[in-house]
Amino acid sequence: MFKNGDSPWNKNKSGLSNRKQPKKSAFTKGYTPWNKGTQVSWNTAKTNTTYERMESSEYDLVVKPRMDGILLTTPDCEGNSRPMCILRPKKTPTVDLKTEIKNNSFDGMSIVDNEKLITMMNSAVHLHAIKSEPCGPPSFAYYNIQKWGVCWKFQVYCERCQFITPMYKLYKTIPAEKPGPDPAAANVGFALGIKETAIGNTRAQQLLSNMNCQPPSRSSMQRTSNKVSDKLVELNQDDMADKLEIVKAVNRKRGAPENEIILTVDVRYSSNTITSKKETWSESNQACAVGIETVTDRKYIVATASLNQMCWTGAWLCGKGFTIECPNGHEECTADLHRAAPLSEYELGKKIGNQLAVQGILVKYATTDGDGRTANGINDAIQALHPMWKVERLADPIHLGNGQFRAAMRANFSDSMFGCRTKEQKKIFQKLFSQDIKARSSLITSHLMDVYGRHSEDIRRLTKKLFEATMSRNMKGRLAATVHRSNNSPDKSTKMKCDRLGIEFSGRTNAFLDSTDRECAYQKEYQKREEVQHRKLSQKAENLVVHKIFKELNKANICDVYKKGQLDPVLDDHASCVKKRL
């Protein structure tokens, strides 16, 4: 606070001014800025204000549900959701799969009979000359076509006078057993061909489509397939009965009881594994068993049995809300076993025993696997008619050899048995020793089986050929077709099947079947040649040597091959960790 008479300390001092000093960066008059005349443009962000509504299939590819299952997200590679605005997808139009779309186009390939085609052409020209005489030479074009399975019906007209011919069937027919139109021979033969191969109706449709032929509908193919399947089962039953008569005749000529045979039984399932890791029920839902006689060298299949849990009609009715229990819960049920019931080899053996017992056949020996119970089923079925008879079970030599090998591998040998330094070498020598024991035992067993006439090498080959058939809805028809083909030559089997179905072959088809039969006979004779078998053994020995060389290279880490756990992190052991700490 100033007092009277006081003067400020800086009064009359030079160099000091009360005026505020200007800043060095302040604008001065006449200064030209460095960016004078520069054009400045603003980069405005482009915003997409329009959104396209995606289809359901594309929407499912872009959007994924979150873990809570409520909100949706559009994740990137890191799983982070991106800021995208996506509209709900378009409604998927419903497609009627039951109604077949009519195709009135006349292009593509058509399966027609040559004789019927010539008959149609001659008849059309003759009728045109009678009813449209002033027209002159006709100019025919397609007026109407009707698909009849894989076959066709044609109707043509004249483009000049509009003359229309009647409808012509360009296929041969088979007399029908029931009232209704006669089935086409080509449709029945096509269904028979599907039974002979490992494809179904859907794959057959795709095959025809690739040939530019309009395929038939699935419903008509399935109806024809069911009828053909029943015919094949009847034919196979009659053929197996004839083969049993041949076996009886052989026993009579040998002076042995005609009704006693030796049988080998094997079972095949529709899956490689019985149990399932994901489902509570069994992984396999179909099983079939075959009984092969070993009295003759032909090894005829004389009995078959099957168990089936599958029924397409029952599954379809259950899907529609009906309470259906298969088997025999509705008409045309294909299942003969409940879906929760196990597939029993005992029941399969019982069915085979019933088939043979009705025909007066007694099974003296039944060769099965070590874990199979088909022999017990055959024994119980035959004892129902012959209480004093007993079926003796024999073990399969192949199963015995595998069991011998596993037993030798599990055995505990002394350390001085093989004289090895490491466990890996001991394991290799023990495996070689087990294989040697198996080979010696198999050789002795095979020799005994040859002496007593109960060897099963050919049986295994026929069984493998038999089981190439695909398990499907008509498994009995496929099984019967393959059994009949195994018991007869391919040419004879095809002709017998077509004769039972009423199909007539042309000369070219018969010539092709004869050539197929000759080729099959040549291949059988060729495989039995001594030089061919020697060459196969030599190639097998060379493959073993090459495999051994590559195995040694793999142990030496010379070959760059995958090893189990090679990508796992290598952890330091306890000793190395202690050394590092010290």
Query: If you average pLDDT over residues 110-117, what whole number do you get?
Result: 88
Domain closes at, from 186, 216, 246:
216
In a shared domain, residues 561 and 494 = no
174-201 pLDDT tens trace:
888 888 888 888 898 888 888 888 788 8
In a shared domain, residues 367 and 475 = yes
Per the document, the length of the chain is: 582
387-418 pLDDT tens trace:
888 988 887 766 667 777 777 777 777 777 77
pLDDT surpasses 80 at 277: no
For residue 29, tell me if it sits in a domain: no
In a shared domain, residues 450 and 572 = no
489-530 pLDDT tens trace:
777 777 777 777 777 776 766 777 777 777 777 887 888 888
Angle CA(210)–CA(214)–CA(215) in degrees, nearest 5? 85
Confidence of residue 580 (pLDDT cuts 50, 70, 90): very low
485-497 pLDDT tens trace:
777 777 777 777 7
pLDDT surpasses 80 at 303: yes
In a shared domain, residues 278 and 192 = no
Query: What pLDDT score was predicted for residue 537?
Result: 86
Rg (CA), the chain: 42
In a shared domain, residues 485 and 541 = no
Higher local confidence (pLDDT), 101 or 130? 130
| Torsion angle in degrees (nearest 10) through CA of 44, 48, 49, 52 | 180
Domain closes at, from 216, 251, 280:
216
In a shared domain, residues 266 and 409 = yes
For residue 305, tell me if it sits in a domain: yes
In a shared domain, residues 209 and 242 = no
Domain closes at, from 168, 189, 216:
216
Number of domains in the chain: 3
- The number of beta carbons lying within 10 Å of the beta carbon of residue 209 is 12
pLDDT surpasses 70 at 566: no
The DSSP call for residue 18 is S
| Mean per-residue pLDDT of the chain | 77
Query: What pLDDT score was predicted for residue 352?
Result: 92
Query: What pLDDT score was predicted for residue 552?
Result: 74
Angle CA(201)–CA(98)–CA(108) in degrees, nearest 5? 60
17-61 pLDDT tens trace:
555 666 666 667 777 777 777 776 665 555 554 567 888 778 888
What is the extent of the structural domain holding 314?
229-507
Confidence of residue 249 (pLDDT cuts 50, 70, 90): very high
Q: How far apart are CA 394 and CA 367, in angstroms?
A: 4
Query: If you average pLDDT over residues 465-485, what whole number do you get?
Result: 60
Which of the residue ranges 7-21, 129-143, 373-387, 547-561 has the most confident prediction, judged by mean pLDDT? 373-387
For residue 272, tell me if it sits in a domain: yes
In a shared domain, residues 539 and 500 = no
C-alpha distance from residue 304 to each of 51, 332, 463, 558 (Å): 65, 21, 12, 53
In a shared domain, residues 534 and 473 = no
In a shared domain, residues 341 and 270 = yes
Written as six digits, the tokens of 551 are: 């195995």
61-80 pLDDT tens trace:
888 887 777 778 888 787 77
In a shared domain, residues 451 and 353 = yes
C-alpha distance from residue 208 to each of 111, 171, 473, 489 (Å): 10, 17, 21, 28
* Cβ 370 vs Cβ 395: under 8 Å: yes
214-247 pLDDT tens trace:
888 878 888 888 888 888 888 888 988 999 999 9
Written as six digits, the tokens of 63 are: 């959007």
For residue 7, tell me if it sits in a domain: no
C-alpha distance from residue 227 to each of 171, 183, 189, 220, 224 (Å): 19, 11, 12, 11, 5
Q: How far apart are CA 404 and CA 357, in angstroms?
A: 35
Amino acid at 487: N
In a shared domain, residues 211 and 260 = no
Higher local confidence (pLDDT), 548 or 263? 263
The DSSP call for residue 373 is -
